[in-house]
Structure 1
């Protein structure tokens, strides 16, 4: 069975899933496209864009010349577009006036670049988490609505066949009434080693890399991929992995956001300069169920059965595990019943389905429809991660008012919904 037929038969979420996300326009247009953030993941996205046959790669942008050279060499193998290269995203957007901007930068750059791109007339393919702080996400969504540009979030798990059919299984009631869910990521990265602080690599503008974040002392553990464990640039494992799994939970429930959040974290074992927590627990209180988050960088929990990432949905009929590389599994409470499984169907070499997200993006640009992974969904899932970190930083629980986009009765907590930008960068207005 091909992917399109599979998803049509899944019947999940009605027309929202069965129409545009999987239908490519019959007359593809050549959208002028630029990639900002030319590392390994940005190239993964651009590769799918090129394969779609609907884009012209106008430019690549990165503050690291080494990344740029590697990316351009690969792009030159994939197409004949001969893209220009830039270090400054502002210069790139202004000079190229692109139709599409792929934003695959570290998290602390997502808001400024996405907003400038949309205000200049571009549609945006945005990496998750959508923002580094809560109010940045609000500003990005506002820019998308004000400009009426498509802003899609790279929630490829929202499109993958086993995730789609898994949601249909949950919504059908076969797992019974769900009373609690648990999202988790368990990795054993070991003790690691303490990185030596040093000068940035030749050809890298480290001051620009830090941008609105505090100017940090460089160490090789930060770049090119280690920045996710440094809180000045990202939000640790809950910020990196959390939005994917929180999105699966918010996709399943009819509730938009939790009302209360409490989190605790620790980081005192690893031999590393990274400052994101190695262990974290968070509890999210919804109206009808309790959600928990758990991550560790110190153990893959070999004593537990099944995959070491995903979401457990605990129902009155059994436990449903929504996984990644191993698909989904349902463990019925009645041990006489068969354990049900569905294998994952993912693209190589990255075991993701970015092409399905890109197809939705392409379908929405000419129609003006909001994508299945619209910026609003990205903001909600990202906020769950950010609010978990905020609670841990405060050392107390918080009450979230989703409609007012603020924390209830806590001035100190509300101040953490934003952060001070390093000059001359200015925090976006939402």
Structure 2
């Protein structure tokens, strides 16, 4: 990244930051509590809700989940956090109509991000939605348009944008101390092996499986009990917590972890979108995907390589779910920025490190400042969200920016599914010269659900 390019992108970022966001007058005082609802009461939704309650600015008025087994641990969380007695709902539409929240937290699986978020802002709520913002590119575009049309603040859960070591690392890179960037490598590597299919089991009576699948295809149920953490964490069934590697409901490791690290690339460099994308991968270790009435496996790739070409540098993505070797700092996630003055590793639980090209110069490192549980900075991101609601400031993880990061991951998956490289017109959000690839920017919803219009 040369100085001219840096100045240009910095000016563009300044312009974006000046965009107006409408705010309810009653919110500006910072004295009243926001009526807050959680849609999706699983493990991560409760992590977000815990920080909302800890802020002292939120009254929990409603909880929504299609699996009634999620309510018991969530109600215990609320009782410990605020003592509130929220109303319980199975359908987010009923929640929005009856509870009328000021803030809606959306912690659902990926395929259920778009419709509740759009409905919530149209109902007048500000929204904290988990990443990735949508399952397909055009879902994301519809979400951004809805946020802008209603003037609601929509914060996305890319909390690394506010983690102290990520912020200082960004400043270090943007100061020019690593020189011109020629390449970035993002990676997430975990162990794993051959996958055995799980049997189809009877849907628990507390779970509305038809509504869980919602606009996505309805497939046989395999899963466990969310009230048993050890079972949930190790279970590769679709629900709970296994949906990431079922491509009808998410986009694999690239669509999950990839959002964080590709977002770091755009956030640090000021770029908006790549021009060319190519991806390859497969399941040589996990084995062929199986989906029958009796049993099924995941179907996401057990490894994937993707290349994103920008004008002045290239980005490589790599993930594996086998041979989970670590970096030299003991981390198996992060990204390397390769500059003319050295290599910068932006990590997670070990902070960041700069390795100068000149061996006479000292290695520079900064330790992280992460919160428990799960070594994250949701607390700081929630504070930024509340500040944006009260003041009209642009949130640090504004949906318009994270839409671009989500697109990078989704386009990598699109190239893999399409089996070809693609050229991307980011301004028009169209693939150049490939009608078949453009059909993959959206998907048909299941009967009874309407794909959001952009």
Going from structure 1 to structure 2, the CA distance change for 1:199 and 1:298 (only over 3 Å counts) comes to same
Shift in Å at residue 77 of structure 1? 1.9
Q: Hey, what's the Cα distance between the residues in 1 that align with 2:353 and 2:284?
A: 35
1:390-414 deviation per Cα after TM superposition (whole angstroms, max 9, x unaligned): 0011111001111111111111011
Q: Does 1:404 align with 2:428?
A: yes
Counterpart of 2:355?
331
Runs of 5+ in structure 1 lacking a partner? 1-12, 18-23
1:240 aligns with 2:243: no
Equivalent residue runs for 1:11-410 within 5 Å? 27-220=30-223, 221-270=237-286, 273-302=297-326, 306-410=330-434
- Alpha-carbon distance in structure 2 between the residues aligned to 1:207 and 1:144: 28
Structure 2, unaligned stretches of length 5 or more? Answer: 1-12, 18-26, 224-236, 288-295
- The 1-side partners of 2:377 and 2:327 are apart by 30
Aligned-residue CA RMSD (Å)? 1.8
Contact 2:30 2:390 in 1 (8 A): no
Aligned equivalents of 2:80, 2:257: Cα separation in 1: 31
How many Å separate the matches in 1 of 2:142 and 2:84? Answer: 33
**Equivalent-residue separation in structure 2 for 1:126 and 1:268 (angstroms):** 34
1:317 Cα offset (Å): 1.0
Aligned mates of 1:340, 1:200 — CA distance in 2: 53
| Deviation (angstroms), 1:28 | 3.2
- Cα drift, residue 193 of structure 1: 3.7
Aligned to 1:241, the other structure's residue is in SS state helix
Give secondary structure in 2 for the equivalent of 1:416.
helix
Distance 1:15 1:264, change over 3 A: closer
1:195 deviates by 1.4
Give 2:445's aligned residue. 421
Q: CA deviation at 1:285?
A: 0.3
Deviations 1:209-256 (A, max 9, x none): 000000011111111100011001000000001111111100111321
The secondary structure found in structure 2 opposite 1:335 is coil
Contact 2:255 2:406 in 1 (8 A): yes
The answer for the alignment partner of 1:10 in structure 2 is none
TM-score normalized by structure 2? 0.88
Task: Specify the alignment match of 2:227 in structure 1.
Answer: none
State the alpha-carbon separation in 2 of the partners of residues 339 and 236 from structure 1.
35
How has the CA–CA distance of structure 1 residues 258 and 86 changed in structure 2, closer, same or farther, with 3 Å as cutoff?
A: same
Q: Residue 252 and residue 303 in structure 1: after superposition, are their counterparts in 2 closer, same or farther (change >3 A)?
A: closer
Question: How much has 1:25 moved relative to structure 2?
Answer: 7.5
Counterpart CA distance in 1 for 2:91 and 2:442 is 24
The answer (yes or no) to whether the contact 1:182–1:292 under 8 Å persists in 2 is yes
Please state how far the C-alpha of 1:369 moved relative to its aligned partner: 2.4
Moved more, 265-274 or 345-354: 265-274
State the TM-score, normalized to the length of structure 1: 0.93
